[in-house]
A and B are shown apart, each in its own frame.
Chain A
Amino acid sequence: MLSDAEIAALQISLKVSFWSLLFALPLAVALGWLLARREFRGKLLVNAFLTLPLVLPPVVTGFVLLILLGKQGWIGSWLNAWFGIEIAFRWTGAAVAAGVMAFPLIVRPIRLSFEAVDLRLEQAAATLGAGRWRRFATISLPLAMPGVLAGAVLGFAKALGEFGATITLVSNIPGETQTLSLAVYALLQVPGEESAVLRLTLIAIAVSILAVVASEILARRARRGLSAAESGADA
Chain B
Amino acid sequence: MLDVDVRNRLGGTALDIRFTGAGGVTALFGRSGAGKTSTVQMIAGLMTPDAGRIALGGRVLFDSDRRVDIATPQRRVGVIFQEGRLFPHLTVRRNLLYARAARGNGRYDGIVGMLGLEALLERKPATLSGGEQQRVAIGRALLSNPDILLMDEPLASLDAARKAEILPYIERLRDEAGLPVVYVSHQIDEVARLADRIVLLSDGSVAATGSVDEIFTRPDLMPLTGRFQAGAVLGARVAEQDVSGRMSRLAFPGGSLWVPSVPLPVDSAVRIRVRARDVSVALDKPERISIRNTLPGTVLSVTESDGPFRTVTVAVADETGESRIAATVTANAVHDLGLAPGVAVFALLKSVAMDRRSMALPPRDEIVT
Contact = CB atoms under 8 A, between A and B. Distances in A.
Interface of A: 118, 120-121, 123-131, 138-139, 142-143, 223, 226-227, 230-231, 234
B97 A234 contact: yes
Interface stretch (B52-60, B70-78, B292-300, B354-362): B70-78
A129 B99 contact: yes
A127 B79 contact: yes
A139 to B, nearest CB: 6
Interface of B: 44-46, 71-79, 81, 83, 85, 87-91, 94, 97-101, 103, 140-141, 144
Contacts of A227: 89-91, 94
Contacts of B140: 128
A139 B91 CA distance: 13
A44 B253 CA distance: 70
Contacts of B90: 226-227, 230
Contact of B46 (A126, A131, A226): A126
Contacts of A129: 73-74, 76, 99-101, 144
Classify the secondary structure of A's interface with B: helix
Interface centre among B71, B98, B141 (most CB of A within 10 A): B98
Given A123-B46, A230-B94, A231-B94, A143 B79 contact: no
B180 to A, nearest CB: 16
A231 to B, nearest CB: 7
A138 B73 CA distance: 15
A45 B144 CA distance: 42
Contact of A128 (B83, B89, B141): B141
Contacts of B91: 227
B103 A234 contact: yes
Contacts of B100: 129-130
A127 B99 CA distance: 9
A142 B81 CA distance: 22
B85 A121 contact: yes
Contacts of A234: 97, 103
